[in-house]
Structure 1
């Protein structure tokens, strides 16, 4: 198909999205497509190989497409970047390496169903029961598809910990979301075969992990290809690593000056002594900081708020706790009119010891709560994604990169700093203001450390133990949080550097933008969660 007419490109994009939704119905349902909320999809080996062939065909079609319209050309190039990234990773297939390819495909659609409640309860229950019936086949496909020569013991162990939460999730969490006793009983009955499948998978992964001999390292060549072709950065892993080192040195000088000592790390560790006493107290304090950040945005007129938006501050879901040790966010389903997002407080897993819970609370000290709430909620992820959901280009809502979304959230931390959010005039107490400003700088330094560590890990210049030591001595993570962070880097290459990389590029785009800050924020954040080179084109109109 050769696309030359401007009017034909939007149709091509629509057809591509329909193909994506049909091939990944669980993801489509999370995004709000009610037409896809009764199945988890196909996870057989034939599906993955067929998907790669079809993706290559779509890439050829989009690369031939031509248009003079800026927005349409950005939509086209966004699809191209996603397809190029996917096909590059076909040589390093997650479906043969990482069991969370399958467990996440079960957990998130079922969790989002009750989180977002897009149907009346009886219809919602029917859709959940239909998907519960497919869980055994999805998890059986996981066992069939994993390759011991490709799967790393580290990645398998990480997934096994998540799989062990499966029984409680399907037998307790899901039925507990249903108000009607009769419907609740139906969900509980449907959950038992799924729970047994999770039990089998956990036992399988424990044994499989002892025979797995693959490497979690992506390697510099593929890492650099993804930075250039998927993220449209224009440089590779080596330059990203060097940028991280430069940024780290600048930020370390800044935090030393602010701390008044070269041993800033000791100062940050002392601030961790002041933390919420329990996980629920942590949630309550995060909720208060979220409200404060929103009020500050309104007072200073920095952005336009979406009608009906709301950010709920809740414990992280149990299935997420073994694999994610920091705060996170889940957006409103953007294909709907819903505007309620969820800020997940990093709850400790049930099996944590008292000392591990204490470490989790220390890593969420009162000094850090303000900047984390800004990042996750206002004007970070929640404001961005609730605002984006009001825009009218569906492909921009569906295809996202962390190099923009995480970059935006980190940019938000600096934006509020520039407007005095962490100052004594705003906070009202000099010691508290100093602690929050130190935490703000350390949060950026932590993201620079991620740039260094992630590239070093996947290019073979650092092992896991060295990475954990780096994150505890060059940032302020507690040992257990550092372990969780580094495991995440091993499992999710290229994501960790996205925060500071994206924030710095957004700041550069802002410097070139002509207009008010509010106009800049509304335009850039409303343009999507684009690769940074494409975001620049939209913001600057060229």
Structure 2
């Protein structure tokens, strides 16, 4: 049970209407929460936590009073989606408050709260007193100088995770203060007279403190964009995420699934390597990496592979592809800087192609060419475009679009990985040994993602060890391995995002075995795929309940041991 952060009354009008339609309720809550988060924007402020806690608890209470049994099955699924969402949001709020409570003492406690109050006063358009504001800014600079001195002298020390969060808190305050000053500057001449000098100095002092913390408490030089640092969230938060995603396995059990799937991939790799005349799969992988197109030719390759994948799905009647979906795929090139985070091309609404540019070093160019070779790219196309992300995103914006709020990697990444499994298994999808090695490279990569992401968040692996795992297990180029880990631990991803690719795909593969076939009571592949696309975002276990027309109750918890059915 979660201990309340604050004891606060429910604001008037916060309770929802007793019989508010569930879809309308979801849309209202998502919009209300977005408005509140945008307005109460200072993460170090107690006001933010109080207001969001009040909102979430009141909506959870109101949802419990709604007539679950009177809803049809789609409505009951919406109820359960909203219930899980509100619970998870509240848990995340408590986690953020707990983490922030460790940051404030490291920063001396006083000045972040003082700055937060000034920013919030501007949000409420309170009358500005320039002279008083200037005095507060000068006072804050004195506190910053003390905090910096204590850090430099070693009096104040912090865990690198706390120190990293402190730099993010300071960067956020710095950005908000620039907006705060810009709101009054010149529109209030007296305010500008008093505040312009201390505000400029405070902006530099905040940046100087950020740089000091990075250099001394974290151990990286200011401006370093290569070092990988993240924030492991720990076992309890992983457990919360597993409950939210309706996954009934422990982190250790999921790691074992990743290892078991990896062993299968190795056996398949060895068979493909033998067909090419190699004695081991790593040598065959090196051969495949050399099969890349010349610089300037990658967009054409990706274009042709995209057409091949879409044509295959249509010819085999595997899913309904709307004409507009196929017609409006746009292609862009990824910048060298973005390729540090995303070394392979991305897809979804559009294709964003990674490939070397003239600004890269010779070594970087070669690694990018090898990492984006023909057969890796072929395996990526149907994951990213049609029938993967691009097709699913087309449906998401058109069928029950309010469910996009319940975004889950087990659905969106699981769907894309599921097609990797289906096409590898299909005798009608053309596969040379090189093609199979390209597909298996990515499948091994998904196995490694389960292992390294969970072990990282459990505190059992460092970021550098994660990079080494990708190089050793999968055969990644070191630069692409670093990019993958950097994206995993420094991007805006949840703790289960990387594990969600393979695990979500295996869930769909297990469900396909249950419901697809020619026997009475089963459905065609196309119907299965179309139903999933039109269901939008949800844990796969809830989609299973939908497609199997299972009875639901408002207290439903995860119970589908999907991997046991595949073993």
Q: For residue 303 of structure 2, what is the aligned residue in structure 1?
A: 287
Deviation digits for residues 284-329 of structure 1, max 9, x if unmatched? Answer: 3112211211111121111111342122222236774443333323
Q: For residue 405 of structure 2, what is the aligned residue in structure 1?
A: 398
Give the conservation status (yes or no) of the 8 Å contact 1:241–1:451. Answer: yes
Give the conservation status (yes or no) of the 8 Å contact 1:423–1:437. Answer: no
Structure 1 CA distance, aligned partners of 2:256 and 2:439? Answer: 22
Q: For residue 490 of structure 1, what is the aligned residue in structure 2?
A: 489
Q: For residue 332 of structure 2, what is the aligned residue in structure 1?
A: 314
The correspondence of residues 324-363 of structure 1 with structure 2, limited to 5 A, is 324-330=342-348, 341-346=349-354, 352-363=360-371
Give the conservation status (yes or no) of the 8 Å contact 1:404–1:530. Answer: yes
Q: For residue 101 of structure 1, what is the aligned residue in structure 2?
A: none
**1:475 and 2:493 correspond:** no
Deviation digits for residues 386-429 of structure 1, max 9, x if unmatched? Answer: 122221x23213321011100100111222334446525xxxxx
Structure 2 CA distance, aligned partners of 1:436 and 1:201? Answer: 52
SS in 1 for 2:475: coil
Give the conservation status (yes or no) of the 8 Å contact 1:217–1:457. Answer: yes
**Offset at 1:439?**
1.1
**Offset at 1:151?**
6.3
**Offset at 1:15?**
1.9
Structure 1 CA distance, aligned partners of 2:433 and 2:167? Answer: 37
Give the conservation status (yes or no) of the 8 Å contact 1:156–1:205. Answer: no
Deviation digits for residues 433-459 of structure 1, max 9, x if unmatched? Answer: 221111112211110111111111121
Q: For residue 375 of structure 1, what is the aligned residue in structure 2?
A: 383
Q: How many residues align?
A: 427
**1:302 and 2:315 correspond:** no
SS in 1 for 2:480: helix
Give the conservation status (yes or no) of the 8 Å contact 2:245–2:539. Answer: yes
Give the conservation status (yes or no) of the 8 Å contact 2:336–2:360. Answer: no
Residue 223 (structure 1) aligned to one of 238, 258, 283: 238
Give the conservation status (yes or no) of the 8 Å contact 2:342–2:483. Answer: yes
TM-score (norm 1): 0.70
Deviation digits for residues 100-130 of structure 1, max 9, x if unmatched? Answer: xxxxxxxxxxxxxxxxxxxxxxxxxxxxxxx
SS in 2 for 1:344: strand
**Offset at 1:509?**
1.0
Structure 1 CA distance, aligned partners of 2:313 and 2:375? Answer: 20
Higher mean C-alpha displacement, 378-387 vs 264-273? 264-273
**1:416 and 2:423 correspond:** yes
Q: For residue 504 of structure 2, what is the aligned residue in structure 1?
A: 502
Structure 2 CA distance, aligned partners of 1:350 and 1:152? Answer: 36
Give the conservation status (yes or no) of the 8 Å contact 1:327–1:345. Answer: yes
**Offset at 1:211?**
4.3
After superposition, the Cα gap between the structure-2 partners of 1:363 and 1:422, relative to the gap in structure 1 and judged at 3 Å, is farther
After superposition, the Cα gap between the structure-2 partners of 1:460 and 1:394, relative to the gap in structure 1 and judged at 3 Å, is same
SS in 1 for 2:498: coil
Give the conservation status (yes or no) of the 8 Å contact 1:224–1:235. Answer: no
Structure 2 CA distance, aligned partners of 1:347 and 1:212? Answer: 36
**Offset at 1:347?**
5.1
* Structure 2 unaligned spans of 5+: 1-14, 102-143, 145-155, 176-201, 219-228, 516-521, 551-567
Deviation digits for residues 469-491 of structure 1, max 9, x if unmatched? Answer: 11011102100111121223323
Q: For residue 512 of structure 1, what is the aligned residue in structure 2?
A: 514
TM-score (norm 2): 0.67
Give the conservation status (yes or no) of the 8 Å contact 1:289–1:373. Answer: yes
**Offset at 1:207?**
4.2
Give the conservation status (yes or no) of the 8 Å contact 2:298–2:355. Answer: no
Structure 2 CA distance, aligned partners of 1:199 and 1:305? Answer: 54
Give the conservation status (yes or no) of the 8 Å contact 1:157–1:206. Answer: no
SS in 2 for 1:255: helix
Residue 241 (structure 1) aligned to one of 255, 264, 267: 255
Structure 2 CA distance, aligned partners of 1:277 and 1:508? Answer: 40
**Offset at 1:378?**
0.9
After superposition, the Cα gap between the structure-2 partners of 1:364 and 1:54, relative to the gap in structure 1 and judged at 3 Å, is same
SS in 1 for 2:365: helix
- Alpha-carbon RMSD across the aligned residues, in angstroms, is 3.7
Task: State the structure with more CA Rg.
Answer: 2
SS in 2 for 1:313: strand
Structure 1 CA distance, aligned partners of 2:539 and 2:55? Answer: 23
SS in 1 for 2:89: helix
**Offset at 1:262?**
6.3
Give the conservation status (yes or no) of the 8 Å contact 2:355–2:369. Answer: no
After superposition, the Cα gap between the structure-2 partners of 1:200 and 1:274, relative to the gap in structure 1 and judged at 3 Å, is farther
Q: For residue 103 of structure 1, what is the aligned residue in structure 2?
A: none
Structure 1 CA distance, aligned partners of 2:546 and 2:205? Answer: 49
Deviation digits for residues 129-152 of structure 1, max 9, x if unmatched? Answer: xxxxxxxxxxxxxxx9xx995764
**Offset at 1:516?**
0.5
Structure 2 CA distance, aligned partners of 1:414 and 1:238? Answer: 24
Higher mean C-alpha displacement, 470-479 vs 213-222? 213-222
* Structure 1 unaligned spans of 5+: 26-39, 98-143, 167-196, 331-340, 425-432
